[in-house]
Every structure is written in C-alpha cells, then in structure tokens.
Amino acid sequence: MMTIQEKQAEIVEEFAYLEDWMDKYEYLIELGKKLPPLEESSRQEKNLIKGCQSRVWLDVSRKEGKLFFKADSDALITKGIISLLVHVFSGHTPAQILDSDMSFIEKIGLKEHLSPTRANGLLSMMQQIQMYALVANTENPA
C-alpha cells in the first residue's frame, strides 16, 4: 500500500497533464460521478457538514488501527475533490494522518476550494478527518 505522500505525489503527477481549468474540472466531475454515493444509513444529519455552497457527508470507521473514510456531497466538483481526499487519507493510521500535510491540494491548483470563505464543506471535512485521527490517536496511540 502506498503512503499518504506517495498517493499525493501520484495525484499531482496526474493533474500535471490537465492543462486548462476545464480539463481539471472535467476530470473532477468524472471522479465525482465515479465515487459511489453514501448509503442512506450514513447520509444522516450527524454526518452532515453544512456549507453555504454545498453539503458534505462524512462517515468514518476504524478497522485494525486504521481509519477508513467514506464521503459524499450534493455538488459534483466538491464530490470529485472528496474522492481525492478520501483516496489519500483512507486506510491509514491516525498517526500517519496526523503526520501528513495537504500540500497536494495547492500543487494541483485547488487551494481556493479549501479556503475558509468558500463554505463548501470541504475544509470542515478535512478538519473532521484530522479531529477523528487526533481522538483515535489519543485513545490508542500508535
């Protein structure tokens, strides 16, 4: 299994081939469409992150010391970015997640999507992922 850093590097490389904005967005839309929707049981108020622009649902589970994320959004481009984030951070230990950064988002030109003023739920989703990792790490340090 690839490390978080390796996964990020792979995404950065993929995006390097996408020259203009429309290509990037088309790719994200494709990823968004491919990401399986969250089951109704997980698409609940408790997993909902409300934003002014779009809504995001995040479901977390833990297996053999690793955290697994499933997420969804009502907006497709947001969902595409979710797909990247879930791919990068899912399946790793809390310590690995806490130890990583999110520099790839900036490298692929999507930094604005995680700005606090964008209110699309993505930044809150990342904060929640880190919060889960932090709590899990405190309960059961690696």
Partner 1 sequence: MQIREQFPALDQKVYGKPLVYLDNGATAQKPRQVLDVLQEMQAGMNGNIHRAVHYLSVQCTERYDRARAAVRDFINASSENEIVFTGGTTASLNLLAFSFGQTYIRPGDRIIVTQAEHHSNIVPWQMMCQRTGALLEVWEVEDTGALDPKKLEQILDRPGEAPRLLAVTHISNVLGIVNPMEEIIRIAHYYHVPVAVDGAQGIVHKKVDVRKMDADFYVFSGHKLYGPTGTGVLYGKEKYLEEMVPWQGGGDMIETVSLTRGTTYAPPPMKFEAGTANFIGIAGLGAAVEFVNGLDTNAIEAYEKKITEKAIESLQKIEGCRIYGIPGTYYGQVYEKIPVFSMSIEGAHPSDIAMLLDKKGIAARSGMLCAEPLLERFQQTSVLRASFALYNTLEELDYFVESLQKVLKMLR
Query: Nearest distance from residue 19's CB to partner 1, in Å?
Result: 12
DSSP string spanning the chain?
---HHHHHHHHHHHHHT--SHHHHHHHHHHHHHHSPPPPTTTSSGGGEEE-SS-EEEEEEEEETTEEEEEEEESSHHHHHHHHHHHHHHTTB-HHHHHH---HHHHHTT-GGGGSTTT-SSHHHHHHHHHHHHHHHHHHS--
The answer to the question of residue 119 lying near partner 1 (CB under 8 A) is yes
Residues 26 to 65 in contact with partner 1, rule: CB under 8 A: 26, 29, 52-55
52 among known catalytic residues: yes
The answer to the question of residue 98 lying near partner 1 (CB under 8 A) is no
The answer to the question of residue 76 lying near partner 1 (CB under 8 A) is yes
User: By the criterion CB under 8 A, which residues form the site for partner 1?
Assistant: 21-22, 25-26, 29, 52-55, 74-78, 119-120
